[in-house]
Structure 1
Amino acid sequence: MALIRVLLLLCFIFSLTTNILALPKEQELDRISALPGQPPVKFSQFSGYVTVNEDQGRALFYWLTEATSNADRKPLVLWLNGGPGCSSVAYGASEEIGPFRINKTGSSLYLNKYSWNRVANILFLESPAGVGYSYTNTSSNLKDSGDKRTGHYVPQLAQKIYDYNKKHSRTIINLKGFIVGNAVTDNYNDNIGTVTYWWTHSIISDKTYKSIIKSCDFKSDKTSQKCDNAVNYAMNHEFGDIDQYSIYTPSCKASQEKTKYPIRFKNTLIGLKRFSGYDPCSESYAEKYYNRPDVQKALHANITRIPYKWTACSEVLLRNWKDSDASMLPIYKKLIAGGLRIWVFSGDTDSVVPVTATRFSLSHLNLKTKTPWYPWYTGGQVGGWTEVYDGVTFATVRGAGHEVPLFQPRRAFVLFQSFLSGKDLPKS
């Protein structure tokens, strides 16, 4: 049984072999002169559409923010949010690692002090068709989507690129590695790890914990009625009014009153995502801003006038996802052998895809430990804990929820810098 499928923080690192500033004339049409309410910046931005299937009319929306300096010599990072069916513009660009944040009224932008484009070119992609501004002219696409059509999510996409390169005598796509955060890794171990997190963090009772463990067959794709009852009881009677994506921070009351997201147990988003600088209602600001006609015009977006509002996540896609792999572990093993740089990190206050779930899953890779568990530091404080294995670096980010850069932007930035450089996280 797959417990939860949620907003994943995922990115690739590519080494640039050409100057991304030397763009053809037609690509210049995608240049963003300035966004409404945007503070002045010196880096270039581009956005628009890439057609991925002409027959069915599928096109994906992208937004490229170049590095703040020496863009042609900085790596290119592709950022994807999962869900499935959630927008990298809503989350990655606007809440997590992008250069701008949106104010409460949705009227203007302000700079993100810890934007990742300080050290890399960042490409945000809304995928698959039906997410955000990405669209399809074939309505059935929205009801039979999945990992394969998405192209895939990380790490399946890394495997696709790796296999593609292996078919050629030279490297075609210079993929250096990937980093994933609070991501579903292996359904069985993730499910055990998630329930364990609920219990060890006193979210559920001993009785309910034992009931879930006894009633639920975590190896099955289907749930029993007893299992559903046990989990529903935990969520509806014991969790309380908390933000499950960040159990120690406030929930967005205004947003919850407007939209009652259903709480589900398996293969879905559980509820609303929600510290220094943390605003639990930031998702609603994005929905205000990206539905503005002047913003869409500046982004070269919604050119086909899609018959629905831009939303952070697509409930239709979420309900109709078809082909999720039960485990990423075989792909990890393959790509570790292929020599890719692989980092996995976990915000430790996320109860949706918690740190225990990821640790249980990674332990089944049976990797040799290169650098034993130690605390890493930033700003004179423990930023989290890390262990380096032969092929994978695992790190926690202390005090961060599901969207790590949203809750702990400075710590997330230090982690990203270390990933780019291939160096261990700082020990002091």
Structure 2
Amino acid sequence: MGTQGEREERRKISGKEKGEEACKMRTKRGIDVVESPAVAQTVRPQRWWRHLVGEGLRRIEWECEVEEISSTTRATAFTKQISVTPPNSTGPGCSSLGGAMLEIGPFFVNRDNKTLSRNKYAWNNVANMLFLESPAGVGFSYSNRTSDYNNTGDRSTAADAYTFLINWLERFPEYKGRRFFITGESYGGHYIPQLANTILSNNKIMNTTMVNLKGVAIGNAYLDDDTNTRATIDYYWTHAMISKETHKAVQENCSFNRTYTGLCRTAIEEANNEKGLIDQSNIYASFCWDASAPQQQHASVTNIDPCASYYMQSYLNRQEVQRAFHANTTGLKQPWSDCSGDIDAVCPVTSTLYSLDILGLQINSSWRAWYSDDNEVGGYVVEYKGLVFATVRGAGHMVPTYQPQRALTLFSSFLQGKLPPE
């Protein structure tokens, strides 16, 4: 990922360089803690846990401590959720390990599916990161009760995540009182506000700050199905992906009021046919046609390897990796899977803009360009009362995957409570 120079700068970490064996398991306060194969002794402490949330219910989480430790260092939780395709979105189902190993964690999986490379723009450069697999059944998380799979929903997910956070802080009290932020993307547009509300409500009920929540950040948020569908069709049209006639047919036949008539569905289907076979997460990226021969990929306007998710999936399905993570201890037969900016057509920027119009917030700081550390325009930002909206230029649905340096600049500004730099 990144430019050729950036890729060359990353230090390759192989089993031969750091020893073929995974670090030995150690235990801390009753939680199994290990380091992943090919990771040992390469960065500040990183810990994987299989953590009991409730009876029979377990979550997998990964903590990456910040490179420079201080008693006031921020703690941040990252929850990665689903990419949805309107109008029939099926709900959450993506693993936070995708966010960790494709976007903002300290390592990427190499093409050999066995070794790892350092991520120069990992977010644990500026904050302690905690990646949570949620709800039960996502990624490596699981439950001993089938009812936890059949009756899951946004409310129960928020309640379980809150229970996890409280238990986690009890077991690791050194993090209590630190400033806490929640970040995520896509269906995190539902999960993150509900978890934040649960935290604030319980702080009020308990008359104490159980979790010192200071802010939330959601990338390419999925907020409302009707708004997202309408915005996606408009995005297609404004990016010359569908015809004027089809766009007009959608406008004339779709009311976007939770009801889709036959004519509306026909028009939307025609729009999907016209746009062709593209990666909706990044409309300018190429597909991974053969992960076993990445050098044969079609040319792309980006420097992103379109097969990266397949390398990660292969790595996380290696038995030695799962043993190190204390994952899949029940021996499930199905393999681990991840999930079924402004160049994102899944939750396009138009959807966020339409949602902001609905909120009708007061503008405190007008729309302007912001700049990343490379002195290039990183995107655009506008500050509303109580909310900041920022775009990342040239980024797809998983913003840090496509623009890691710009994403880190934006994240750092968010932690500091500042607008991104002018």
Q: Same fold (TM over 0.5)?
A: yes
Aligned match of 1:388: 383
Query: How far off its partner does 1:256 sit?
Result: 13
Per the alignment, residue 32 of structure 1 pairs with: 34
**1:135 corresponds to:** 142
Aligned counterpart in structure 1 of residue 409 of structure 2, from 384, 392, 414: 414
Report the equivalent of 1:245. 281
Seen in structure 2, the aligned counterparts of structure 1 residues 42 and 107 have a Cα distance that, compared at 3 Å, is closer
Q: Residue type matched to 2:94 in 1?
A: C
In structure 2, relative to structure 1, the CA distance for the partners of 1:163 and 1:361 (3 Å cut) is same
SS in 1 for 2:32: coil
Q: CA RMSD in A?
A: 2.2
Residues 47-81 of structure 1, C-alpha deviations (whole Å, 9 max, x = no match): 12222231xx2211111111111154311110001
Secondary structure at the aligned position of 2:418 is classed as coil
Query: What is the match of residue 15 of structure 1?
Result: none
Give the C-alpha shift of residue 40 in structure 1.
Answer: 4.2
Deviation at 1:255, TM superposition (A): 6.2
Provide the C-alpha distance between the structure 2 equivalents of 1:29 and 1:133, rounded to a whole number of angstroms.
16
Please report how far the alpha carbon of residue 25 of structure 1 lies from its aligned counterpart in structure 2 after TM superposition. 5.7
TM-score w.r.t. length of structure 1: 0.78
Aligned-pair identity (%): 41
Distance in 1 (CA, whole Å) between partners of 2:208 and 2:281 is 43
Does 1:75 pair with 2:74? yes
Task: Kindly provide the amino acid, as one letter, of the partner of residue 313 in structure 2.
Answer: E
Q: Take 2:292 and 2:192, find their aligned partners in 1: how far apart are those partners?
A: 30
Q: What's the counterpart of residue 404 of structure 1?
A: 399
Corresponding residue for 1:148? 155
Unaligned runs of 5+ in 1: 1-23, 258-273, 316-346
User: What secondary structure does 2:309 align onto?
Assistant: helix
Q: Distance in 1 between matches of 2:402 and 2:208?
A: 41
CA distance in 1, matches of 2:71, 2:33: 16
Number of the residue aligned with 2:356: 362
List per-residue Cα deviations over 1:356-381 (Å, max 9, x = no partner): 11011012211111110000011111
Cα distance in 1 for partners of 2:192, 2:53 equals 18
Equivalent residue letter for 1:85: G
Amino acid corresponding to residue 143 of structure 2 in structure 1: T
Residue by residue, what CA displacement relative to the aligned partner does 1:90-110 show, whole Å, maximum 9, x if unpaired?
A: x21001100000011211101
- Letter in structure 1 aligned against 2:354: F
* 1:206 counterpart = 2:244: yes
Contact residue 27 and residue 33 of structure 2 kept, 8 A:
no
| 1:151 and 1:157 in contact (8 A); partners too | yes
Partner of 1:113: 120
3-state SS of 2:192 partner: coil
Name the counterpart of 2:63.
64
Q: Following the alignment from structure 1 to structure 2, what is the Cα–Cα distance between the partners of residues 26 and 424?
A: 39
1:31/1:45 contact within 8 Å kept: no
Q: Confirm whether residue 234 of structure 1 aligns to residue 234 of structure 2.
A: no
Whole-Å separation in 1 of the counterparts to 2:107 and 2:292: 25
- The 1:137–1:169 alpha-carbon spacing in structure 2 relative to 1, beyond 3 Å, is closer
| TM-aligned CA deviation for residue 409 of structure 1 | 0.1
What amino acid maps onto 1:350 in structure 2?
A: D
The question of 1:88 aligning with 2:96 is answered: yes
- State the alpha-carbon separation in 2 of the partners of residues 309 and 418 from structure 1: 38
Q: Pick closer, same or farther for the CA change 1:127–1:29 going to 2, 3 Å.
A: closer
Structure 2 unaligned segments of length 5 or more: list them: 1-25, 83-91, 160-190, 294-299
Change in 2 beyond 3 A, CA 1:37/1:349: same
Supply the AA of the counterpart residue of 1:217. Answer: S
Equivalent residue number for residue 262 of structure 2: 225
Instruction: Work out which structure has the larger RCO, using CA pairs closer than 8 Å and 6 or more positions apart in sequence.
Output: 1
* 2:366 alignment partner in structure 1: 372
Is the contact between residue 31 and residue 44 of structure 1 (CA under 8 Å) also seen in structure 2? no
Q: Give me the TM-score of the superposition, normalised by structure 2.
A: 0.79
Give the match's secondary structure for 1:311.
coil
- Residue 181 of structure 1 corresponds to 219
**Distance apart, 1:39 and its partner CA:** 7.0
